[in-house]
């Protein structure tokens, strides 16, 4: 009799364990708090109404739009039962709560953005759990204010539709910044009305390197180009804004500017004619830092950029600038003498400082790659630490806001497996899902300086990514790992992440987003 009772108790325990585990919510990124009741689901269907907060209608309409191709067009109403939305300013600005009962689903956000992120969580549950939302409570807020991804459209150009799809992927992972790399040696991609030559000449290169070798046999011989009109940029900025993503434009200076030099030769020290570059890497051709006409050009460009992008931060590049031309240039040497500068490194600092003052005077702040630290920028400049975590720590210790993007961990153009089998051609390196997930962005940074680490970002350089499918495969599923670093840095759990990503895979499939299979296959 005892053995029968023991068997029954074991069977009941097994059933209960299965029931609880079956009701686990595999949400990426991990919420702050989840309390799910043992029984009861609210089932979302095409007939479920979304009851909007009249003062903040955008999240409701975006949610309905995001589910439309799966559920059809759900009805948005001003009153009734279903999915109700409201704002409570006592919550974290981007935080939210979701309360699910038999009466419906109530989402309360700390702001419109908070409501939107609550709806992103709900969308994930609906799609991965066949519309069934367990009764219970979810509370959530992000770890970092800046949660970014970068997109290089200079090496390879991506259409307006491509950029919007990229934005959709970022939004689903609760990112709130898109760092848009718009100019480089291989192409100028933004219309500037003061200088039409920038797109007439600077947006097109005569051919593209298609391999790592630098011999002529590795070029395709096909003209390549593209650019965004100002109307298209405004459209993309609005699209991102309605998904609570701020676009930070990057205008490279003084290096990585050969496309601009081709369009406007007078920007160079020797004013020689150079081609839009057809190689990857670092060219010696840079903007002349000794002529006032260069500063006039940069200020005129930035005036139009400011008009197009509401972002407080404007990225000015500042990285990988060779000084060979400046050493030979009479204008640069004269500027150094006039300003009391000892070397060409200080001359770059002078240029960056002038641009910083200009942007500050227009109500904006600069953000730049960590080389800007070498020129004496003020603590109001935000530093993007790419050359290693130690530089990020140094910048934070000296009072700068820092976005952590260190090599190699945040470079999603790198290979995803050690063997590289089946991955095609990429720039190099090896960063798998596990390395991203286990990364500590605070490593080596004092408790006092940690407050200056405002965020984390992945970079996607497009030298070897010539279409959006390739971009998506490099981005996913690693963005799932990064989103947990960005949103849930202290809540990560290596024991549960694979299960959560298997669920997230269903979400990717529902939207037709391409992702690399290696993590799911167990390859590292």
Catalytically active residues, by annotation: 184, 256, 320
Alpha helices in 426-522 (DSSP H): 433-438, 468-475, 478-487, 497-511, 518-521
Nearest to 462 by CA among 150, 183, 155: 155
Secondary structure (3-state) at 52: coil
The DSSP secondary structure of 3-29, one letter per residue, reads HHHHHHHHHHHHHHHHHHHHT----SS
Structure tokens at 359: 């942007």
Burial class for 401, CB neighbours closer than 10 Å (0-12, 13-18, 19+): buried
What one-character-per-residue DSSP string does 105-166 give?
A: EEEEESSHHHHHHHHHHHHHHHHHTTTEEEEEEEEE--S-SEEEEEEE-SSS---HHHHHHH
Q: Copy the structure tokens of residue 114.
A: 């908070």
Q: Cis omega before residue 10 (within 30°)?
A: no
Dist. CA 241–CA 235, nearest whole Å: 10
Handedness of CA 331, 337, 342, 346 (dihedral sign): negative
Phi, psi of 52 (to 5 degrees): -85, 155
From 80, 149, 70, select the one nearest 512 (Cα to Cα).
Answer: 70
């Amino acid at each position: 009799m005892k053995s029968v009772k023991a068997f029954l108790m074991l069977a009941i325990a097994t059933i209960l364990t299965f029931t609880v585990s079956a009701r686990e919510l595999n949400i990426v990124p991990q919420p702050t708090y989840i309390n799910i009741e043992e029984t009861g689901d609210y089932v979302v269907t095409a007939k479920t109404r979304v009851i909007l907060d009249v003062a903040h209608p955008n999240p409701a309409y975006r949610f309905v739009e995001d589910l439309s191709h799966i559920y059809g067009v759900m009805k948005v109403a001003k009153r009734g039962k279903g999915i109700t939305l409201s704002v409570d300013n006592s919550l974290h600005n981007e935080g939210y709560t979701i309360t699910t009962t038999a009466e419906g689903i109530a989402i309360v956000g700390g702001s419109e953005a908070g409501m939107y992120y609550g709806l992103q969580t709900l969308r994930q549950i609906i799609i991965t759990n066949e519309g069934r939302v367990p009764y219970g409570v979810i509370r959530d807020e992000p770890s970092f204010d800046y949660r970014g991804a970068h997109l290089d459209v200079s090496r390879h150009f991506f259409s307006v539709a491509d950029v919007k799809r990229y934005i959709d992927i970022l939004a689903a992972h609760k990112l709130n910044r898109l760092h848009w790399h718009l100019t480089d040696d291989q192409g100028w991609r933004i219309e500037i009305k003061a200088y039409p030559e920038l797109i007439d000449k600077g947006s097109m290169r005569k051919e593209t390197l298609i391999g790592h070798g630098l011999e002529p046999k590795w070029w395709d011989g096909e003209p390549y180009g593209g650019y965004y009109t100002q109307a298209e940029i405004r459209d993309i900025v609005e699209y991102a804004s309605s998904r609570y993503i701020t676009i930070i434009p990057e205008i490279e200076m003084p290096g990585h500017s050969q496309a601009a030099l081709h369009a406007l030769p007078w920007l160079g020290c020797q004013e020689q004619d150079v081609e839009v570059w057809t190689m990857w890497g670092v060219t010696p051709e840079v903007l002349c830092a000794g002529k006032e006409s260069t500063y006039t050009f940069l200020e005129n460009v930035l005036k139009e950029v400011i008009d197009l992008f509401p972002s407080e931060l404007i990225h000015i590049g500042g990285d990988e600038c060779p000084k060979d031309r400046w050493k030979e240039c009479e204008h640069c040497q004269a500027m150094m003498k006039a300003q009391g500068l000892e070397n060409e490194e200080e001359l770059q600092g002078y240029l960056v400082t002038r641009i910083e003052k200009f942007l500050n005077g227009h109500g904006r702040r600069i953000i730049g790659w960590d080389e800007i630290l070498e020129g004496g920028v003020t603590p109001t400049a935000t530093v993007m630490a790419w050359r290693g975590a130690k530089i990020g720590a140094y910048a934070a210790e000296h009072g700068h806001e820092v976005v952590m993007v260190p090599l190699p961990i945040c470079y999603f153009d790198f290979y995803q497996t050690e063997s590289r089998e089946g991955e095609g051609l990429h720039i190099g390196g090896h960063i798998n899902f596990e390395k991203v997930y286990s990364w500590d962005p605070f490593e080596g940074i004092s408790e006092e300086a940690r407050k200056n680490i405002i965020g984390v970002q992945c970079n996607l350089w497009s030298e070897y990514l010539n279409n959006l499918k390739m971009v998506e495969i490099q981005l996913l599923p690693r963005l799932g790992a990064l989103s947990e670093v960005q949103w849930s840095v202290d809540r990560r759990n290596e024991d549960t992440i694979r299960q959560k990503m298997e669920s997230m895979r269903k979400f990717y499939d529902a939207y037709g987003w391409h992702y690399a299979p290696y993590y799911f296959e167990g390859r590292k």
